[in-house]
Amino acid sequence: MEVLITGGAGLLGARLARQLLERGTLADAQGKQTPISRITLLDVVPAQGFTDERIKIVTGDIADPKTIESVISPATQSIFHFAAIVSGHAEADFDLGMRINFDATRLILERARHNGNRPRVVFTSSVAVFGGDLPAKVPDTQVLTPQSSYGAQKVMGELLVTDYSRKGFIDGRALRMPTVCVRPGAPNKAASSFASGIIREPLNGVEAVCPVAPETPMWLLSPRYAINSLIHGHDIDGSAFGYSRALSLPGLATTVQEMVAALERVAGSNVVKRIRWERDDAIIKIVNSWPGNFDTKRGDAMGFKRDADFDSIVRAYVEDELKGQIAA
């Protein structure tokens, strides 16, 4: 079977590709584990570090129908659609957000529909679909009143994925990702960037700034569990989703304080001293608008797993990215 990953050069896309190469199979349309013959990684920049001959690297504009036609054929049985304009960027450039987060999603679903092979489509949504008046613990039945263009565009994508699935055009799943932490690599412009930075930088011997209060609640998933959730979300039977193909993934509810305490337990007090606490009101405002905790009964019942605690998230980062070596 052939697989497409959009955003294939990003953290989730590239990591998913590596895991699929190792694993070798995915559920086909009938739910049978089937060997993967091809993984196409589409992004605006070429995905790096792949030598496996099953990998095909494509660069292009995801909102251009020609690009989509070139990467989705009737042989494409699985589509992981991760490419997106992030929250802050979509808020600053409304048209670009609509084009990439909504129009490109629709193009992909239309192309899949017209191929007639009803591929499985995993669309990454976001907890940014929630906004406005929220309870401390957001239930699966929370009404969606997003307060950002990114959030609105993600809800619209969820609705398309659900309706295209209900009509039998595709077999879709829209998974709302917790903040993925610890992200390897450099900080980015996302307001959540600090969540990885305050762990990653100190472990690499670099100072990090924490712009929010210690008691700030966080809703997290490690890269390992994020990838496992995406594969599980792909492989389970679509009927498990019921009336909506959108699902809030189980995550780990913690606080910045607990994260730092876990870092100290795993790496020692010298490492933790590399965190400088320096409040940034702009970031605090955005982060405080996010729900910090969710009741994910539905996802739990569907077999999605979350990290046990933040200590194991720190340890997984040290194993996966630092080969076990912490900067003393």
CB of 172 to a copy of itself, least distance (A): 13
* Cβ-contact 194, 259 below 8 angstroms: no
Residue 155 interacts with a copy of itself (CB under 8 A)?
yes
- Nearest to a copy of itself of 132, 205 (CB atom): 132
Q: Which of 131, 184, 187, 238 binds a copy of itself (CB under 8 A)?
A: 131
**Stretch 19-48: interaction string toward a copy of itself, x if CB under 8 A:** ------------------------------
Q: Which of 77, 78, 101, 142 binds a copy of itself (CB under 8 A)?
A: 142
Does the active-site annotation cover 150? yes
Phi, psi angles (nearest 5°) of residue 68: -65, -40
* Cβ-contact 149, 91 below 8 angstroms: yes
* d(C-alpha 298, C-alpha 174), whole Å: 14
Residue 70 interacts with a copy of itself (CB under 8 A)?
no
* d(C-alpha 33, C-alpha 233), whole Å: 14
Tell me the window of 63-71, 152-160, 170-178, 226-234 that interacts with a copy of itself (CB under 8 A): 152-160
**67-89: b or e for each residue (b if 16 or more CB lie within 10 Å)?**
bbeebbeeebbbbbbbbbbbbbb
DSSP 240: G
Tell me the window of 25-33, 116-124, 125-133, 283-291 that interacts with a copy of itself (CB under 8 A): 125-133
* 73: three-class secondary structure by DSSP: coil
Strand partners, 180: 221
Q: Which of residues 190-249 bind a copy of itself (CB under 8 A)?
A: 242-244
- Nearest to a copy of itself of 192, 248 (CB atom): 248
Provide DSSP, 270-293: HHHTTEEE---HHHHHHHHTS---
Q: Give the closest residue to 54 by CA, choosing from 80, 18, 90, 89.
A: 18
Residue 63 interacts with a copy of itself (CB under 8 A)?
no
> Which residues are known to be catalytic?
150
List residues near a copy of itself by CB under 8 A. Answer: 94, 131-133, 141-147, 149, 152, 155-156, 159-160, 162-163, 166-167, 242-244
